[in-house]
Amino acid sequence: MPADVVRRARSAVAVGVLLLTAACTSSTPPDRPAPPQVRASTGEFTGGTPAADPDADYVLTGTGPHVEEINPSFSAQLGDYVVTGTFPTTDNQVESTTDRMRVSVVNVETGELRWLQIPTSRNKKSVKADDGSPGGADVSDLCATTYDGEQVLYGISALPYKGWDVDEYGEFPMLFRLRADGNEVVYRGEDISTYAGLRGAAANPALADEYLPMKTGEPVASAGLVECASLPNGSLAVAQYYPREGSRSGQVVVFDSAGSLVAGVALPDYTAVDGGVVDEMLPRDIVAAPEPIGSQAYISVVSDAFAPDGTALPFPVTEIAYDTTDAALTVQAGPFVASAGHRSNRSAYSTSGDLYVPVTVADPNDEQSVWTSAGVAVYPRSLLDAQQPSSSVEALAPQRFFGGTGNLSVDVQVLEDAGLVVDVDYRGGVTAYRMSDGQACAALTPDLPAELAASGAQLQAIVKGTYDAERDYLWLPMNVTAEDGASVPQIYGVNTARLAATCGT
């Protein structure tokens, strides 16, 4: 697997920096769209549901029209629904393969597949760029929180505009809310936030000017919002991938549960582990500790890092503290890697603030620079608290390693009730480690349906799953690509209660 595949927003930088230097030049606010509705597909996710057998694992395979346009990536839970963001099938946010913006919605009790089409600010559901290319937008991530007394999901988009007539088509939202309403997931017209809308909703104009700057040139800017994390107080921490003008590093921002920008911090420019220059430090993966410590909510950010010649450097971790009293972000520790040759991909916190980081190393036997798992690095809270922010990427040895799986890690989940840390690789393999002793105790791989397996289809990278505590399931979105390039979405449901029983936890 090429090293750059996990850098899902990396190839957006050239376009993103251009768009970041330009914002809405019109003073006329876009029209509010009429409230759209969830559109049910005629297909479904086949393969059984927990309602039929609550003790089984499931591979739910999408069928029906338009499933080839659903490339599930990040997922979040909303009641009975697993909602997944949808990347273009190029796995590149700026290379749209469909003319729409949508999320897929799976009822895990019935197996029903629906999708929600998000309209533009001009109430257009289908957009073509001026050159005739598809004009859709990515949904880069989804995060659950509470707003106005009800559970909602926030969706974000890294690049909600690309080269079409804004006066005719409008722009897709950069931030939007989804709600559960009876037996549907709905999106309402007032839940849209365009770039100008986010600026207007910021806690103060200075914040908007710093993190959502108004520029001249292109009709719409992109804030480069690539991934989000739900904070304990209901706010959202968001990784802002594209550097601001004059900087080589991205930012982390916080929106409150109403969608107002309340805080931000720019990552400094850094030197590399070997003392060389880090040309770009672009935050991507972002997670938050589920419980605060005092007024501090801890945030872990994994950044893509590159030398001036474009060579990928080890991707480091930076820990940031969000003070919920003062609404202030501060770099707390890092950036660091487990050792000079290690690259981080994802991270996850326990409730006590311990950090688990799957790390990878280059495979010396592979000419394609495939990266393989070196295990899960464990950083206890006490070790992180002893660190200081650094002007360079440092090597920070973890307290211990959980053994590697051999495949590139793309997701990690801390399931404290089960006493497990679950590592997921890019082929859909799941390895469970006991938190008590770090030993691997179970390994699972989803089975492809016979007709897909016979066609030579392969599972593609899972990005971020969601844990369903009510049903004891870990839902992992994935994509299956056949030899002819056809794409089929899947949801892999791992029964975590059975996993815990297997592991003796």
**Banded model confidence at residue 256, pLDDT cuts 50, 70, 90:** very high
DSSP 220-246: S----EEEEEE-TTS-EEEEE-SPPTT
pLDDT at 295: 94
> In the CATH hierarchy, which fold is given to the domain comprising 3-44+84-102+116-444?
Neuraminidase (2.120.10)
> Per-domain residue ranges for the chain?
3-44+84-102+116-444
Q: Tell the residue number behind the tokens 């996990």, with chain if given.
A: 6
pLDDT digits (tens, 9 = 90+) for 192-237: 788 889 999 999 999 999 999 876 667 777 888 999 999 999 999 9
Pick the more confident residue, 410 or 42: 410
CB atoms inside a 10 Å sphere around CB 389: 14
pLDDT value at 367 more than 90 = no
The type of residue at 463 is V
pLDDT value at 23 more than 60 = no
- If you average pLDDT over residues 23-31, what whole number do you get? 33
pLDDT at 210: 92
**Banded model confidence at residue 12, pLDDT cuts 50, 70, 90:** very low
pLDDT value at 41 more than 50 = no
pLDDT at 8: 39
What whole-number distance in Å separates Cα of residue 267 and Cα of residue 36? 38
pLDDT digits (tens, 9 = 90+) for 55-91: 666 666 666 555 666 666 678 888 888 888 776 555 5
pLDDT value at 238 more than 50 = yes
Contact in structure between 450 and 459 (CB atoms under 8 Å): no
Q: Residue 422 forms beta bridges with which residues?
A: 413, 432
What whole-number distance in Å separates Cα of residue 186 and Cα of residue 105? 10
What whole-number distance in Å separates Cα of residue 451 and Cα of residue 280? 44
**Banded model confidence at residue 321, pLDDT cuts 50, 70, 90:** very high
What whole-number distance in Å separates Cα of residue 362 and Cα of residue 357? 17
Pick the more confident residue, 38 or 128: 128
**Banded model confidence at residue 344, pLDDT cuts 50, 70, 90:** confident
pLDDT at 22: 28
